[in-house]
Amino acid sequence: MEIKAIAGDIVKIETGAVIVNFFEDSGQPEGDAAAVDTAMDGAISRLIKQGDIKGKLNEITLLHCVGKLPSAHVVVVGLGKKPKLTLDKVRGAVGEVCRYLRQKSIDRIATGLLGAGVNGFKTGDAVQAITEGAMLGLYTFRKHMTKKENNHTEVKEFAIVGRDKASMARAVNRGKIIAEAVNWTRDLVNEPSNFMTPAAMAEAARKIAGDYGFKIEVLEKQQMASLGMGALLGVAQGSQQSPRFIILTYKGKKSNTVDMALVGKGITFDSGGIDIKPQEGMHEMKGDMAGGASVLAALTAIARLKAPFNVTALVPATENMPGGSAQKPGDVVTAMNGKTIEVLNTDAEGRLILADALSYARKLEAKAIIDVATLTGACRAALGTICTGAFTNNQAFIDKLIAAGNEVGELMWQFPMFEEYDEQIKSDVADIKNLGGKFAGAITAAKFLAEFIDNTPWVHLDIAGTSDTDKDKGYQVKGATGVPVRALVNLVLKMSKE
Ligand code: BES
Ligand code: ZN
Ligand code: ZN
C-alpha cells in the first residue's frame, strides 16, 4: 500500500472513497465534511437530521457519490464526543474504516485530517495517527495460506489530504516507520514456533542489524556457559533447539554509554516444560517471545527516527520443552550474577531467562533498564487485555514510561512492589525460588526479577494480557498486537530530547 500526503481539496480528489468525520455533539457537518455535504447537495446533513448518522465512535456510513464528486464513495465516520476525542480514537477509527472499505474491495482511499485541530491536536500528530491507523488496521498474516489472494482486493493507495504537503509527508514517514516496526513484531509473534525458533529469531535480528547498521552479537550455548548463564541454560536444556542470546546495539550519539537496555523475553514456545501446560490454549505459547520481538522492533524505529540515544536490545531466546534432559522441579541453578535459584515450577521459565538477561544488562552498566515479557497469567487475570502491568524500583522512571504509553494509546497500570512480598520468593535450599505461591503472582514474578537489578532505574512490563487479541478492533487485528513497541519508541524519543 502506498501512503501519500496530498495538498489539495477533498472534494476534488478522484479516488475510490473519501473519508470525512462527524462528531456526536456537533449537530451539523464541519470542515471537510461540510465541503463534501455541499457538493453532495446536503446528503450528509439530511442523514444527520434523519438520525441515520449519529456520530458515535467508529460508526460508518457509506454514501455513493453518483457523479457529484470525482470520488466514487464518501464514508462518514463517527468520532464520538468532541471533548473525549484522543489521537488513539482517530487511529482506531481509521483502522476500522480501512478494513470496512477493503471488505468492499475499494482499493483507493483518501482521507481528510481527522482529528486535527480538535482538543489542540497538531496536524502532524493527526497525520501520523491516521497513517498508523491505516497500516496497523490493514495488517494481515497470510504467509502460510496457500490461497494467496484474499476474497477482496488489498488497498493499494491511501492519501491524506490537507494543506502543508511537506510537513504532512514528514508525519506520514514517522507513522510509517512506527507502524512497520509494530507490524514486524506482529509477524514474528504470529509465526508458528516451528518457524520462529531461537535461531530464526537471531536471523531476524541479523537482518535488521544489516538493514539499519546495528552492531550485533549472538551468543551460543558455549558462550552462555562461560558467562555463567545457568538460569537460561537450565530452561534451554529440555529442547532440541539450541538457545541464542541476542545483543543488538544502536548508537545514536558519540559516547559509549548504554543509555537504555531493552530486555525482551524470547521463549519461542512455552510448553511449560516438565510442569507441562494443559492442552487448552497451549498453541498461544508460540507468542511467548512477544517481548523479545517488541524490543528488537523498537530499536529499528528508534534508529530510523535517528534518536540521539544509545540503546541496546537483549533477547534471551529459547524453547521451554519437557525433553529427557529437561530441568526438573526442585533443581537449583545459578544465574550470571551468582544468585542461586530453586526451580519449583519449570513453567515459570520467563523469570529464569530474564534473570541472566537482566544480569547482562547490569554488566553493560546500562543507565536504565526496561524488560518486556509475557510473564504471568496472573497479570492477565488482574488487568485483562486492556492494559499492560508495570512494576518498578524507580517512580520517576515508570511515570515517564506510563505517560509515554498513554500518549500513544498503549495503556499501563502500575502494581505495588512492597518489601513484604519478598518473603514469598524465599527458598529453603537456594537464595530464591521461581515460584511465589498462590496469590499476587504478577507481583512475585516482578519481585524475582528485581533480585537481578539493584539500583539501576528499571521497569518491568508484563504483557501477558496485551500481547495478543482475539478480535479485530480499531487498529488491532486478531492475533499479535505489537504492544509495547509504540510506547517504547515514544519514551526513547522523549528521553533523548531531555
Ligand atoms: N508464558 C507464561 C505466561 C502467560 C500466560 C503468557 C498466559 C500469556 C498468556 C509463563 O511462562 C507462565 O507459564 N507463567 C506461569 C507462572 C506460574 C507457574 C508461577 C503462570 O502464569 O501460570
Ligand atoms: Zn511458562
Ligand atoms: Zn512463558
**Is the CB of 378 inside a 6 Å radius of any atom of ligand 1?**
yes
Q: How far is the CA of 288 from the centre of ligand 2 (A)?
A: 8
Phi, psi of 20 (to 5 degrees): -130, 165
Beta carbons within 8 Å of 9's beta carbon, 6+ residues apart: 35, 161
Neighbours of 384 (CB within 10 A): 10
C-alpha cell at 84: 473525549
Helices (H), 191-312: 198-212, 221-227, 230-236, 290-304
351 catalytic residue (yes or no): yes
Protein residue with least CA distance to atom 17, ligand 1: 348
Looking at domain 196-497, its CATH class is alpha beta
Assess whether pLDDT exceeds 90 at residue 74. yes
pLDDT given at position 12: 97
pLDDT given at position 149: 74
Pocket test residue of 347, 383, 432 for ligand 1, highest count of atoms within 8 A of CB: 347
Every domain of the chain and the residues it spans: 2-180, 196-497
> What is the spatial distance between Cα 316 and Cα 230, in angstroms, rounded to a whole number?
12
List the one residue out of 463, 382, 369 whose CA is nearest residue 416.
Answer: 382
272-292 pLDDT tens trace = 999 999 999 999 999 999 999
Q: How confident is the model at residue 52 (pLDDT cuts 50, 70, 90)?
A: very high
49 catalytic residue (yes or no): no
Q: How confident is the model at residue 137 (pLDDT cuts 50, 70, 90)?
A: very high
Beta carbons within 8 Å of 439's beta carbon, 6+ residues apart: none
pLDDT given at position 416: 98
Q: How confident is the model at residue 310 (pLDDT cuts 50, 70, 90)?
A: very high
Three-state DSSP at 156 gives coil
Neighbours of 42 (CB within 10 A): 13
Q: Are 332 and 248 in contact (CB under 8 A)?
A: no
Residues that place a CB less than 5 A from ion ligand 2: 270, 347, 349
The mean of the pLDDT values for the chain is 98
> What is the spatial distance between Cα 9 and Cα 336, in angstroms, rounded to a whole number?
62
Half-sphere exposure for 166 (CA within 13 Å, toward CB): 0
443-478 pLDDT tens trace = 999 999 999 999 999 999 999 999 999 999 999 999
Catalytic residue among 170, 221, 277, 478: 277
List the one residue out of 351, 366, 343 whose CA is nearest residue 445.
Answer: 351
Q: How far is the CA of 352 from the centre of ligand 3 (A)?
A: 10
Q: How far is the CA of 38 from the centre of ligand 2 (A)?
A: 59
pLDDT given at position 151: 78
pLDDT given at position 101: 98
Q: How confident is the model at residue 270 (pLDDT cuts 50, 70, 90)?
A: very high
Pocket test residue of 232, 376, 435 for ligand 1, highest count of atoms within 8 A of CB: 376
pLDDT given at position 389: 99
Half-sphere exposure for 300 (CA within 13 Å, toward CB): 23
Assess whether pLDDT exceeds 80 at residue 213. yes
Task: Please state the rounded mean pLDDT for residues 131-136.
Answer: 98
Q: How confident is the model at residue 216 (pLDDT cuts 50, 70, 90)?
A: very high
Residues that place a CB less than 5 A from ion ligand 3: 267, 270, 288, 350
Q: How confident is the model at residue 152 (pLDDT cuts 50, 70, 90)?
A: confident
Judging by DSSP bridges, how do beta strands 60-64 and 73-78 pair with one another? antiparallel
**Is the CB of 228 inside a 6 Å radius of any atom of ligand 1?**
no
Phi, psi of 480 (to 5 degrees): -65, 140
Instruction: Kindly report the CATH number that applies to the domain delimited by 2-180.
Output: 3.40.220.10
Q: How far is the CA of 292 from the centre of ligand 3 (A)?
A: 12
pLDDT given at position 421: 98
pLDDT given at position 111: 98
Rg for the chain, CA atoms, rounded? 24
- Cell match 480499531: residue? 474
Phi, psi of 111 (to 5 degrees): -135, 150
Beta pairing partners, 25? none
pLDDT given at position 170: 98
Beta carbons within 8 Å of 107's beta carbon, 6+ residues apart: 16, 153, 154, 155, 156, 157
Q: How far is the CA of 464 from the centre of ligand 3 (A)?
A: 9
